[in-house]
């Protein structure tokens, strides 16, 4: 599985595995213990994780979510060092550490909370997606 196979649905918590397209939308399976199936129709906003980026102050203007999550995994190996209920200051400090060039005026605390919860779900349900692929390691 990779970031192209994982989606989020607006208004619904958690992440979903993309199973296959259907005539009325796309069939998704929740990435939790329930493995509940869901048909997301055209009226629902479904975002594929490989298409999501976080705003930065760099020339490109954004950093792909996949790169940020792989950076978090490489550095923290699952132990993010955050309190159970971190406050805004702690969350922003964590984000600044992971992505120093983050655009703090456009990245909200709720976005950072979502990033952390998605990271935890992926690390539990699909840890192989956080590993650097052999092609990416050659580029570095």
Q: Using one digit for the tens of pLDDT, what is the confidence trace for 28-65?
A: 999 988 888 989 888 899 999 999 999 999 998 999 99
Residue 134's Cβ-count burial label (10 Å; 0-12, 13-18, 19+) is exposed
Tens digits of per-residue pLDDT, 81-136? 887 788 889 999 999 999 999 999 999 999 999 999 999 999 988 888 888 664 44
DSSP secondary structure letter of residue 39:
E
DSSP secondary structure letter of residue 82:
-
How far is residue 108's CA from residue 102's CA, in Å, rounded to a whole number? 11
The pLDDT confidence band at residue 79, using thresholds 50, 70 and 90, is: confident
Residue 133's pLDDT is what? 60
Residue 108's pLDDT is what? 93
How far is residue 61's CA from residue 136's CA, in Å, rounded to a whole number? 22
User: pTM of the entire structure?
Assistant: 0.85
Given a cut of 60, is residue 137 above it in pLDDT?
A: no
């Amino acid at each position: 599985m990779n970031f192209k196979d994982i989606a989020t649905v607006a208004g619904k918590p958690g992440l979903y595995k993309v199973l296959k397209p259907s005539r009325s939308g796309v069939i998704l399976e929740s990435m939790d213990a329930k493995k509940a199936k869901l048909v997301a129709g055209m009226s629902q906003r479904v975002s594929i994780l490989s298409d999501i980026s976080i705003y930065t102050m760099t020339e490109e203007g954004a950093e792909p979510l996949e790169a940020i999550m792989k950076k978090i995994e490489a550095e923290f190996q699952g132990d993010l060092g955050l309190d159970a209920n971190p406050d805004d200051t702690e969350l922003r400090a964590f984000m600044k550490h992971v992505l120093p060039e983050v655009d703090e005026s456009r990245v909200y605390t709720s976005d950072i909370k979502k990033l952390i919860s998605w990271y935890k779900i992926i690390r539990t349900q699909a840890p192989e997606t956080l590993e650097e692929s052999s092609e990416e390691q050659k580029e570095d």
